[in-house]
């Protein structure tokens, strides 16, 4: 007979806060984003306050837009009686799969006021005329 410990039920509750820790850290380092579409284009916006253009890399490969970069921020304040210094560093990466009608070779990216906006034009809908099919006999 196997005896159960009265503390066995305690362990899942103890580890629960750590279960999603990796996902939470990745979300914290990943910039907030928003994706929208209209009749002419897809637009992806990422919040990158304090990140300079030279620290951002946007690529398109096999229908996927990738945004990678590095956040580096420093702040110092001092007076006669105190000194405050704060630094934030960290790499980030986000990927977005493009829909089939996106023109990945015409992607544009603009950085303004800490927001990176990526615009991907949509291809014009292909209209096809009806084709007459010949009927063969025999």
Which domains occur in the chain, in start order?
32-121 (2.60.40.790)
Q: To the nearest 10°, the Cα dihedral for 127, 128, 130, 134? A: 180
Structure tokens, 108: 């544009």
Identify the pLDDT of residue 25: 47
Q: With a cut of 70, which residues of the chain have pLDDT below it?
A: 1-29
- The dihedral built from the CA positions of residue 115, 28, 65 and 34, taken in this order, carries a sign that is negative
Euclidean distance between CA atoms 37 and 121, whole angstroms: 10
Kindly report the pTM of this predicted structure: 0.64
Half-sphere exposure of 29 (CA within 13 A, CB side): 18
Identify the pLDDT of residue 27: 47
């Amino acid at each position: 007979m196997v005896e159960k410990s009265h503390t066995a039920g305690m362990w899942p509750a103890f580890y629960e806060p750590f279960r999603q820790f990796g996902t939470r850290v990745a979300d914290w380092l990943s910039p907030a984003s928003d994706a929208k579409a209209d009749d002419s284009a897809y637009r992806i916006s990422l919040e990158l306050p304090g990140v300079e253009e030279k620290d951002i890399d946007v690529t398109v490969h096999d229908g996927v837009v990738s945004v990678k970069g590095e956040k580096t921020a420093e702040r110092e304040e001092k007076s006669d009686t105190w000194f405050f210094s704060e630094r934030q560093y960290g790499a980030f990466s986000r990927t977005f799969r493009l829909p089939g009608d996106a023109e990945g070779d015409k992607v544009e990216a603009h950085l303004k006021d800490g927001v990176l906006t990526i615009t991907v034009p949509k291809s014009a809908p292909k209209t096809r005329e009806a084709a007459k099919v010949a009927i063969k006999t025999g």
